[in-house]
Amino acid sequence: MNVGVAGSRAVPGGKLKLAVPRGALFGETLDVLDAAGVDTAELRGNSRSLIFETDELTLVTMRPSDVPTYVESGAAEVGITGKDVLLEQGDRAVYELLDLGFGRCRMVLAGRRGDTRLGESQRRLGMMRIATKYPRIAADYFEGTGRQVDLIEVKGSVELAPLIGLGDGIVDLVATGRTLADNDLEVREEIVVCTARFVANRVAHKLRAAEVDDLTARLREASRTLGAAAS
Amino acid sequence: MIHPIPPGSRDVLPEEMRELRRLNLALIEVFEARGYGEVATPTIEYDEVMARGDGRASGAYRFFDESGELLALRSDMTVPIARLVASRFADAEMPLRLCYLASTYRAVTPQRGQLREVVQAGIELIGATAPEGTAEVIEVLEAALDAAGLDRAVIGLGDSDLYRQLLTEYGVEGEARESLLGKLARHDLVGLEVELGEAGIGEERVATCVALSQLRGGAEVLDQAREIGGTAVERAVAGLGETYEALDRIGAADRVRIDMGLLRDLGYYSGAILEVYDPALGYVLGGGGRYDRLMHNFGLDLPACGFGLYLERVHVAQMEEQRRARGES
């Protein structure tokens, strides 16, 4: 789509940099990249390096929660991360181009199994105390459902909090539900379903339109193929 | 000893100030040379004046004066200049050409390094219609980018009414439409597709709307969009086509990209809208567009168009481009 003088002037040198999330989404991200024709062999073999070159892209590995930061600033032109991360950092201005379908998780409100604390605090104290790693998603959800909460932000295993009396319940991301079950917790309400998303920097989406569109189309095709094979 | 200043504010020291001053002068000289006279307006306005621009919200910083009047720090320069024109130039010969270099004040997210105080340099062309007025403004913007040394910068050109009209044409109105426009402005394509699906307009129209928002590039985009058809798209394509031709006539179309997905969040725009990008920077350098209905809020029915560049960002891009020219990165 780059045409004439404007096109040649606007396309800067260098390969597109793609932010790749390490952690839970890492394996499936590499699978979908492979299926889209991006060579990820080196990433699979080497766990120490941060930057990997392919013929077409520079792959930059990072924590999923850093992806919006790098992409918003344009340090990475495109990236892959979870919808939970995008919701929690909703003020990061990145373009959300594609639902990749994998990494499916639910953001839920959970309490101790059979425990009445959540309801009783709500009724008698007018407010639930909720521990979470996702304060913004939790705040939006309770505000949207007309309830007052006291949010307690924790960084580590949030399941611990209600077990020893920090808060009445938790808002957390659940994949299989096994961690909840192991800790004697149960899902009370589902807030939102989250999957992996393909995001782009706003300026790169304009100035490197052809490359971004091409990669988007290939990832769409690849995620459909993988999704169909999995189901 | 360190004496703190509020987050989102900053001091400027001599070396940077020298560069900023040079940049300021270069920009104002471009504007003046094209007949745009510089004006200054008060940093504080009546809140009610600022609210006439956007309609939804006025400034982020509001306070009462000694007699209980509600005042606001200006959040942009277009609204104060609209007020100034209506008060001081109502009977003047049109079109009127004004330029400015001024601080504006925005709300920020804490810990994000965003500035509350943003210096903008820009122009307003009052009383000139599309497409010639728009083309003139874009030509001045290009000269300003050249003067700043940003010869790789690109101007995105879109239509601010396109999706509002398209959704109305599809029978989507009220809250559902506003929510969809929000998704388009943020470019949340995944959410857009989901909500369009829920609007019950049929799969084909959902696909059309999403595909339309991804059309961007040279003049060929107009042909691609025209194939989509429909009243809203045809009106937008005709308008953009006329602007593009007017630009072509004055030799200023080269660095303009037509972008059917462009949507700016300021409420007063109508018709053509602009954004400025430089490949060296991941952020938008500035923007503008037509605001043919804004002057009406101040009692004058005059078409108008303008742009503002964020001076600090232009300065960053300038440094990056100079490093690039030296072969460093």
Q: What is the interface pTM, i.e. ipTM, of the complex?
A: 0.89
Alpha-carbon distance B62 to nearest alpha carbon in chain A (angstroms): 23
- Cα of B216 to nearest chain A Cα, Å: 7
Question: Which residues in chain A have Cβ-Cβ distances shorter than 8 Å to B151?
Answer: 9
Report the mean per-residue pLDDT for chain B. 93
| Residues in contact with B323: Cβ distance below 8 Å, sequence separation at least 6, in sequence order | B329
Flag whether residue B161 sits within 8 Å of chain A, measured between CB atoms: no
Yes or no, beta carbons of A206 and B186 under 8 Å apart: no
Q: With CB atoms and an 8 Å threshold, state whether A11 touches B156.
A: no
CB contact under 8 A, A207 and B220: no
* Phi, psi (rounded to 5 degrees) for A132: -160, 155
* B44, B106 contact by CB (below 8 A): no
The closest of B232, B129, B309, B221 to A210, measured between CA atoms, is B221
Radius of gyration (C-alpha) of chain A in whole angstroms = 20
User: What pLDDT score does A2 carry?
Assistant: 31
**By three-state DSSP, how is residue A106 classified?**
strand
In which element (H, E) is residue A129 found?
A: strand A128-132
CA pair distance B2, B25, nearest whole angstrom: 33
Distance from the Cα of B215 to chain A's closest Cα (Å) equals: 9
> What whole-number distance in Å separates Cα of residue B235 and Cα of residue B272?
12
Q: Test B254 with A4 for CB contact under 8 angstroms.
A: yes
Pairing of strands A57-62, A16-21: parallel
- pLDDT-based confidence at residue A10 (cuts at 50, 70, 90): very low
Determine the topology of domain B14-159+216-325 in CATH: BirA Bifunctional Protein; domain 2 (3.30.930)
d(CA B317, CA B311): 10
Average pLDDT of chain A, as a whole number: 90
The reported pLDDT for the residue numbered B78 is: 94
Across the interface, which of B254, B282, B283 has its CB nearest the CB of A5?
Answer: B254
B216, B255, B283 member nearest A203 (Cβ): B283
Which tens digit of pLDDT belongs to each residue from A144-200? Answer: 999 999 999 999 999 999 999 899 999 999 999 899 999 999 999 999 999 999 999
Task: State whether residue A105 is helix, strand or coil.
Answer: strand
State pLDDT tens for residues B152-207.
999 999 999 999 999 999 999 999 999 999 999 889 999 999 999 999 899 999 99
The pLDDT tens digits of the residues spanning A20-34 come to 999 999 999 999 999
Q: Which residue in the set B214, B220, B277 is minimally distant from A207, CB to CB?
A: B277
pLDDT in tens, A212-228: 999 999 999 999 998 88
The pLDDT of B316-327, averaged and rounded, is 92
Q: Which pLDDT score, from 0 to 100, does residue B153 have?
A: 96
Q: Where in chain B is the domain with CATH 3.30.930.10?
A: 14-159+216-325
Record: contact A4-B280, CB cut-off 8 A: no
Q: Which of B184, B190, B262 to mutate to test the interface with A (most CBs of A within 10 A)?
A: B190
Return the closest-CA partner of residue B136 out of B35, B247, B293, B28: B247
B214 has a chain A CB within 8 A of its CB: yes
Distance CA B159, CA B271 (A): 5
Chain B residues within 8 A of A4 when measuring between CB atoms = 218, 254
Residue of B nearest to A12 (CA): B279
| Whole-structure pTM value | 0.90
CA distance A119 to chain B (A): 32
Most confident of B48-62, B235-249, B257-271: B235-249
* Residues on chain A bordering chain B, Cβ-to-Cβ distance under 8 angstroms: 1-7, 9-12, 72-75, 91, 93, 95-99, 197, 201-207, 209, 213
**Domains, chain A:** 4-104+195-230 (3.40.190.10), 105-193 (3.40.190.10)
CB of B111 less than 8 A from some CB of A: no
CA dihedral A51, A52, A53, A54 (to 10 degrees): -140
- Cis geometry, peptide bond prior to residue A21 (ω within 30 degrees of 0): no
What's the token pair of residue B34? 């094209």
B188–chain A nearest CA distance, Å = 5
Report d(CA A72, CA A126) in Å as an integer.
39
Pick from B112, B154, B284: CB nearest A202 = B284
- Residues in chain A with CB shorter than 8 Å from the CB of B276 are none
Best residue in B220, B277, B321, B323 to probe A by mutation, most A CBs within 10 Å? Answer: B277
CA distance B308 to B276: 10
Nearest CA-CA distance, residue B153 and chain A, Å: 7
Smallest CA–CA distance, residue B297 to chain A, in Å, is: 31
B284 touches chain A (CB under 8 A): yes
